Structure 1
Amino acid sequence: MLNSNEIYNFIQQGENETLEFKQSFSKVVIETLVAFSNTRGGKVLIGVRNDKSLTGVSATEETVQKWINEIKQNTEPAIIPDAETILIEEKEIVILSVIEYPIKPVSFKNKYFKRVLNSNHLMSLDELSNLHLQTINSSWDYYPDPNHGLEHISTRKIEKYITEYEKWNDTTVDYSPYDFLNKFEILRDNKLTFGAYILFAKDLCVVSDIQIGRFKSPTKIIDSLNLDTDIFTELNSIMTFIKKHLMVEFIITG
């Protein structure tokens, strides 16, 4: 979450590819969020004029939630922006933020926008086709994770993976753990992706929560396992659990 000084500095920079000012909420706000979602993500500051002056906006928590619902209902795939209200110079500014959406293109009432410099542009059929092809060739885990940073992954787990990688490929990795992840785009420009987080999460990882059980009957569980850590650890734990409950019969003849 950004503080008021950081937001004020953003405002002084003016509108750009990832920042837009609006005095009030309108359909243009939704168009802008769609354009951000189809490009690099961004923020709409409501309560700010184009000339960077602050007007403020009167918006209760219920009002902001109504805006979010309207955005969700009128976009496809549905986007749900993060919202926060910050007080600057005794004026309330509502900030609606979206990341670059993993599934593109995103539309608003069957219209597709992209962000170019400080304005929204209606996309051409060729641009829509190219964006769709890019989405097909990538997936959710490829995109930057806005909620986690390098401090949320374990260097020890990365090093352990590199050791296994060296064994599998009969090679030696002579660069740092983070350089290794950048090489394979598990990190992108040293920024954590969703994939990097679920592979090497340091602590709890609710994104990859798994529950597994051994049923004696349709309603009776005689053993269970709850996992909420990195995928590698979960996979090993699941295999151990399955082997524990395998019913194997040995028949010796002769």
Structure 2
Amino acid sequence: MPKTKLREDQHTEFKSSFTDAVVESLTAFANSSGGRVLVGVDDGGKPVKGFTLGSESLQKWVNDIKNKTQPSIIPDADEMDLAGTKVGVLSVKEFPVKPVAFKGRYYKRVNNANHQLSLTEIADLHLRSFNTSWDSYINPDRTLDDLSLDKVVKFIEKSNQGKEMPLTDDPLTVLTKFELIRDTQVTNAGFLLFAKNDVFQAAIELGRFSTPTSIKDGLTVRSDLFTEVEEVLGFIRKHINKEYIITGDPQREERWQYPMQALREIVTNMVVHRDYMNSGDSSVKIFDEYIEFFNPGHLPDTITIEQLLADDYSSYARNRKVAATFKEAQLIEKYGSGIRRIHEAFEQYGLKAPKFENFQHGFRVIVYAETTTDIDKTSRKTVGKTVGKTVGKTVGKTVGKTAEIFDSIKSNPQITREQLADETGLSVRGVEYHLKILRETNRISRVGSKGGHWEIS
């Protein structure tokens, strides 16, 4: 079998000779998940012509690396036979206490390149190496007088709902048990969660826009984190549409423009996973056809957007105390499952999948509403307003995908659910939701099962 060609990647780097660039790469590997540098190898993975590995070269290199890094790293040093030429191999494992510096600078390995760390990344990497997080540290500027014990009482009540083993301690004892205060000193998490007054560090800018540059309404919230979730959702409800579906039951059914449970999940994630060491604000921008959520702080380097969407990752809480307290209050069901629930909710609603992305110095989520398609005036009036009293079921504003499916059925009465899913970009489950609306509004009916067809009423 042919030998696998050497190539640079997240754990391998080629250098034609030993220079400071070798030390930089080893530092990046030590701050990431380890790696090796092959010295005497060109960018194509071939030995450099004329390169000679002396008898003392490896030891000199090791000493140089030791003296130029802080804390000192001592790599393993070996030689490798590459196409008949001896080249040097310097390798390091992930360093237990991070970050490691080279000439006062800090690097990490990202794919096949070295990336210099920002101050926030340096602090976060240091905290993670001690299995802790920023929010667990004492806030020297805050005292117990800055906390609202009434808010702690409400947290206890929320946490005890439906529990066989409820919390029965007084508020200060609960704060101590959850390590939100230590020796009467307030942690960052304790202040964020139960602040008596405004928390400027947690400000979220809210806006309703008619165009990207024209704002119709705005609000800044800077409350404790539990209250912020409700205030943000309240502002969203104020500026999105709601319809009522009369199904014949005594109580009419509400349908918001977006699945509210999914929006709650997004807002909760914003509040819980925000980088509070970053001076930037979170923001929610509501437009006619979409909502944009932005939060300071990228995804961890160990999680890609693709892994996030595939639900193929191990959850990491940037603010461990905040996350644990939200989970105790039953506002987080399970770590790492929120993205899946958001996707499922939008799919069941028949809406386009939300967009998740690292953006500038943070993370952005964009959710999309239905948009009206070009349908004839009769269909627009019938589907968009009221079908008629004789039907006994009224659909408010049903637009977008429902109308698109209706048009497809008019064009091809033999069309299947699977074909409708392909045409609209929905799942079969999403198609069935819109078919149900069309049936209940007496727009269509089904004749036969397998091999049957649709009829326009």
TM-score by length of 2: 0.28
The answer to which structure, 1 or 2, has the higher relative contact order (CA under 8 A, 6+ apart) is: 1
Q: TM-score scaled to structure 1, two decimals? A: 0.49
